Amino acid sequence: MILRRCLIASLLQLSVLATTTGAEGRRSNRLGEKTAYCRSCDWDDEFRGERRLPWSSDSQRPFSSQAQAPALEVIPLGVSGSADNRVDLVFFSDGYLASERAKFIEDATRLAEDVSGNQTFHAVKPLLNFWGAFTPSNESGIGTGGVPKDTVYGLYRPGTELRAVYYSKPEVARAACASMGSQCDYPILLANDPFYGGVGGEFTTVTSSYLNGPLVLRHELGHSIVGVGEEYDGGFAYCGANAALEPLDIPWKRWLPSSHTPRIERSIMPFQSYPWTMLNMSSSWTAEFTSSGIYSRYLVKFSLSGIPSKSSFTVTLGGEDLGWEPERRVGLDRWHYDIHRADGLKPGVHKLNFALTDPALEGKAQLCSVEVLEFGDESEFNSTPGHYSLYPTFSMDNQTSYRPTNEGCLMRAVTKPSFCNACMEALWLSLLKRVHLIEGVTERCTPQNNTALSLSLVPLAHLRQTFPNAIDHHTPKLAEELKNESYTIIWKKGGDQLGEYTNMTTAILDQVNAAGTYTVEVKFATDAVRLTDDSALMDRLEYSVSSPCPR
């Protein structure tokens, strides 16, 4: 059983007792007890936004332990095994009327299927359960301007911009999760809102945005489940397996090319801003920055909302149109854009200009974030996808830390579908610390009156229900990883290895000498985890046979 009880203020760590499996099986000397814990980084993340602690306003107040849980209709969305031996993610409804129950189930199912069917979480899907928990709200939608509506968990936006979605009733959300027992490890508050938004923290919040909901959810689960920090520039929480504060202390050393001497890739950030400004026809938004002129390439990054067509907006640098094209499916929702230039900026002052050209979009069009990065040439800054090195990341205070890849992780670029290898390894280890590889051992008598012990394992490696050949052909790396997964199984009796049953899930015991104590040890291997000696990859179970089968 895994019980998540993380006070954001204190980040408590609770040990969880292992569950006994089988009438006489015990895990008293298994390799590594499973514990539920909070991530080491103390943040309340609203993707690409400013820090805001949960107790920093009247409406985002510390919870009361006296709240009663709302009535919940629990709906299975994707169940791989017993909640006692899985990591359980629950979508709680907020802003859905009783008449919108079907919409909630559709929205929650779509999000669950996206994160578990996409390459981000597909490999670890056998370790996860997804549930929906429906409670009708009295009002549809969520609040804006810092004022919650009459909804179950009181979700709201602090302004009108498409950024954070906060909760005003954390005590209710906590009681709801607690009422589900082992079925709720990671509560996700799902807002009935069609646009971008969300936060991470004790509760992950996410919207039903068709385009952005899955993207934000993957990123926030990276914080909640994996315990990794940000990789985008302008943040503050750089910690975990994907962050190096010093170039000599690299958490992802195992993923560096064997022939590669770690180096800092050459780049600089001459400008960054989070304007969160509504655009209008009377004046464009402009900013000036200075370039040293000693870099070979540059990138202009920005995010927009409320601008669905190319004819409605222009962005120029030094008077040159950068050729912005809107995301085809975006509508009025928010999206992140990268415009790369293969030539370098000249030394001196440069002017960025963002101009709205459609008066009908006044009051809707918003410029959310702007950033300019400069890079050395390929010999100084390796931009090859999949290359691992020390890539500088610049914080809100312009302090430098380092990340594993250039743009190869959804913790940096929310529009990316995958974690980098460092984050993916951390995901595996985080989940396996919460799940026993051995589900149980069953004892039976064969027709020949021999005692048979059958081992039940979490369906990884060759036991996966969907074998790698069925994996989407667009993810060859994932398919290769799944093909290379393996279980190593060792049976012992009284400390002596039973070699004939190595890597077998069933052991047929000698009829005369069947009685005794047996130990089965299991080790899981995957290309996604290079930390091979970690106890999370191992499990052990003792089982006692009291008497042989009758002759």
* 167 located within any domain: yes
Which of 309, 327, 313, 326 has the alpha carbon at shortest distance from 279?
A: 313
> CA geometry: angle at 132 spanning 179 and 141, to 5°?
100
| pLDDT tens, position by position, 183-235 | 999 999 999 999 999 998 889 999 999 999 999 999 999 999 999 999 999 99
pLDDT value for 40: 52
Reported in sequence order, the residue ranges of 107-249 that DSSP labels E, i.e. its strands, are: 128-134, 155-156, 166-167, 186-191, 198-199, 204-207
350 and 455 assigned to the same domain:
no
Cβ–Cβ under 8 Å, residues 494 and 527:
no
Q: Using the 3D structure, point to which of 359, 381, 403 is the last residue of a domain.
A: 381
* 244 located within any domain: no
* Structure tokens, 481: 């990883």
Q: Using the 3D structure, point to which of 224, 252, 278 is the last residue of a domain.
A: 224
Q: Give, as one character, the DSSP assignment of residue 482.
A: H
* 5 located within any domain: no
Q: What confidence tier does 466 reach under pLDDT thresholds 50, 70, 90?
A: low
Q: Using the 3D structure, point to which of 314, 348, 381 is the last residue of a domain.
A: 381
355 and 470 assigned to the same domain:
no
Q: Count of residues for the chain? A: 551
Query: Is a pLDDT exceeding 80 seen at residue 52?
Result: no
55 and 162 assigned to the same domain:
yes
> What is the bridge-based pairing of β-strands 391-394 and 366-375?
unpaired
Q: 5 vs 88, which has greater pLDDT?
A: 88
Mean pLDDT on 476-492: 88
| pLDDT tens, position by position, 93-137 | 999 999 999 999 999 999 999 989 877 899 999 999 999 999 999
Which of 397, 196, 365, 394 has the alpha carbon at shortest distance from 285?
A: 365
pLDDT value for 48: 32
Give CA–CA dist 161/365, Å, rounded: 10
66 and 212 assigned to the same domain:
yes
Mean pLDDT on 511-534: 91
* Structure tokens, 542: 């003792």
Q: Which long-range contacts (CB under 8 A, 24 or more apart) does 11-19 make?
A: 11/38, 11/42, 12/38, 13/37, 13/38, 18/436, 19/84, 19/85, 19/436
Q: What confidence tier does 12 reach under pLDDT thresholds 50, 70, 90?
A: very low
pLDDT value for 1: 24
Query: Is a pLDDT exceeding 80 seen at residue 32?
Result: no
Q: What confidence tier does 470 reach under pLDDT thresholds 50, 70, 90?
A: very low
Q: Give, as one character, the DSSP assignment of residue 359.
A: G
Which of 297, 399, 310, 395 has the alpha carbon at shortest distance from 357?
A: 310
Dihedral angle computed from the Cα positions of residues 58, 40, 3 and 71, in that order, rounded to the nearest 10 degrees: 30
Query: Is a pLDDT exceeding 50 seen at residue 86?
Result: yes
pLDDT value for 24: 34
The angle, 0 to 180 degrees and rounded to 10, between the axes of the packed helices 213-221 and 101-117 is 60
CA torsion through residues 233, 239, 242, 243, sign: positive
Give CA–CA dist 135/246, Å, rounded: 47
* 313 located within any domain: yes
Q: What's the total number of domains in the chain?
A: 3
Q: Looking up tokens 């299927």, which residue turns up?
A: 113
CATH value at residue 333: 2.60.120.1200
* Structure tokens, 83: 């909640």
> CA geometry: angle at 427 spanning 55 and 542, to 5°?
110
Cβ–Cβ under 8 Å, residues 74 and 181:
no
Q: Which of 45-49, 88-92, 247-251, 345-349 has the lowest mean pLDDT?
A: 45-49
pLDDT value for 393: 98
Which of 456, 452, 485, 490 has the alpha carbon at shortest distance from 468?
A: 485
Which of 423, 390, 425, 427 has the alpha carbon at shortest distance from 406?
A: 390
pLDDT value for 42: 53
194 and 94 assigned to the same domain:
yes
Q: What confidence tier does 41 reach under pLDDT thresholds 50, 70, 90?
A: low
Mean pLDDT on 163-177: 96
pLDDT value for 482: 83
Give CA–CA dist 163/140, Å, rounded: 19
What is the share, in percent, of the chain residues with pLDDT greater than 90?
77
| pLDDT tens, position by position, 289-305 | 999 999 999 999 999 99
> What is the bridge-based pairing of β-strands 366-375 and 267-273?
antiparallel
| pLDDT tens, position by position, 87-101 | 999 999 999 999 999
- Determine the number of helices (DSSP H) and then strands (DSSP E) in the chain: 5, 29
* 394 located within any domain: no
Which of 234, 162, 224 has the alpha carbon at shortest distance from 191?
A: 162
361 and 213 assigned to the same domain:
no
* Structure tokens, 413: 């670029």
pLDDT value for 26: 41
Cβ–Cβ under 8 Å, residues 429 and 526:
no
* 236 located within any domain: no
220 and 270 assigned to the same domain:
no
pLDDT value for 479: 78
CATH value at residue 446: 2.60.40.10
Measured in degrees and rounded to the nearest 5, phi and psi for residue 259 equal -95, 5
State which of 325-339, 460-474, 531-545 shows the largest mean pLDDT.
Answer: 325-339
* 135 located within any domain: yes
The residue type of 454 is S
Q: 14 vs 185, which has greater pLDDT?
A: 185
pLDDT value for 70: 97
> What is the bridge-based pairing of β-strands 313-317 and 348-356?
antiparallel
* 92 located within any domain: yes
CATH value at residue 66: 3.40.390.10
pLDDT value for 436: 97
Give CA–CA dist 305/361, Å, rounded: 10
318 and 445 assigned to the same domain:
no
Helix (H) or strand (E) holding 289: strand 285-291
Q: 160 vs 317, which has greater pLDDT?
A: 317
Q: Which residues contact residue 426 at a Cβ distance below 8 angstroms, ignoring those fewer than 6 apart?
A: 226, 227, 228, 240, 241, 242
**DSSP character string of 215-251:** HHHHHHHIIIII-----STT-S---STT-BSSTT--T
Phi/psi region, residue 156 (left: phi>0; alpha: psi -120 to 50; beta: rest), is beta
Q: What confidence tier does 181 reach under pLDDT thresholds 50, 70, 90?
A: very high
Give CA–CA dist 38/49, Å, rounded: 22
Which of 6, 70, 3 has the alpha carbon at shortest distance from 34?
A: 3
216 and 281 assigned to the same domain:
no
Give CA–CA dist 220/199, Å, rounded: 7
62 and 189 assigned to the same domain:
yes
Which of 309, 312, 325 has the alpha carbon at shortest distance from 281?
A: 312
pLDDT value for 474: 44
Return the SS3 of 324: coil
State the residue range of the domain holding 198: 42-224
pLDDT value for 475: 64
Q: What confidence tier does 533 reach under pLDDT thresholds 50, 70, 90?
A: confident
64 and 201 assigned to the same domain:
yes
282 and 211 assigned to the same domain:
no
pLDDT value for 7: 30
Q: What is the pLDDT of the chain when averaged over all its residues?
A: 87
Q: How far apart are the first and last CA of the chain?
A: 39
